[in-house]
Amino acid sequence: MNTLNQNMPTESVWHTCVDTLRPALCLFALLSLLTGVLYPLTITAIAQIIFPAQANGSLIRRGDQVVGSALIGQFFSEPKYLWGRPSATGPMPYNALSSGGSNLGPTNPALSDAVKARIEALRIAQPGQSGTIPQDLVTASASGLDPHVSPEAALWQVERIAHARSIAPERVKAIIAANTQASDLGLFGEARVNVLRVNLDLDAKP
């Protein structure tokens, strides 16, 4: 009897623990299934049906070859191409593995020096171009991966591109216009030009 009396409290505690843990473990398994498997699969399926291009990275293709993404800029330096915003990523421009800005404050002399150097470089590249240089051509974006420039920044480069390609400026303007996206729903964001798409069209339409 003494042995039975000593074991009963232990068995009672064990059953109590099991009864307490069972619903918690069941709830954990259910939530893991819902949030870790069913929900991601459902959202992925919906995205692939409704927004297949965006769900797969907004890839830009030429034939069967992927040449880039509409969401990530690429570095162009040749005069015949449209140039994008400066990129502060390292060790190379538009490095998606180290996305980020320069983190230089507006009162930092280094920022002022960098902007002055960019202005000078643009003036040298386009000596015949007068007028104010659009701001986005001399300032880096926060991500360092911005694939767009403003329509003003794109049009500012028309003469250089047309001269380098020996084509009429109107043809360059038409390609820029074809790749200009208005603000979303006419309310959100600003009009923008995709640099990569413009350059691909420039190469495709000599």
pLDDT beyond 50 at 1: no
- Name which of 149, 106, 117, 152 is nearest 133 in CA terms: 152
Could you state, in order of their start, the residue ranges of all structural domains in the chain?
A: 2-53, 58-204
Residue whose token pair is 């500012």: 156
Which of 40-54, 105-119, 146-160 ranks highest by mean pLDDT? Answer: 146-160
End-to-end distance of the chain based on CA atoms, in angstroms? 101
Predicted confidence band of residue 202 (pLDDT cuts 50, 70, 90): very high
97-125 residue pLDDT tens: 889 888 888 899 999 999 999 999 999 99
Query: Cα–Cα distance between 170 and 178 in angstroms, integer?
Result: 12
Give the global pTM.
0.78
Q: What is the mean pLDDT of the chain?
A: 88
The answer on pLDDT for 4 being more than 50 is no
158 close to 151: Cβ distance less than 8 angstroms? no
Q: Which amino acid does the sequence have at 168?
A: A
DSSP codes, 111-174? HHHHHHHHHHHHHHH-TT--SPPPGGGTS--SSS---EE-HHHHHHTHHHHHHHHT--HHHHHH
Comparing 206 with 194, the larger pLDDT belongs to 194
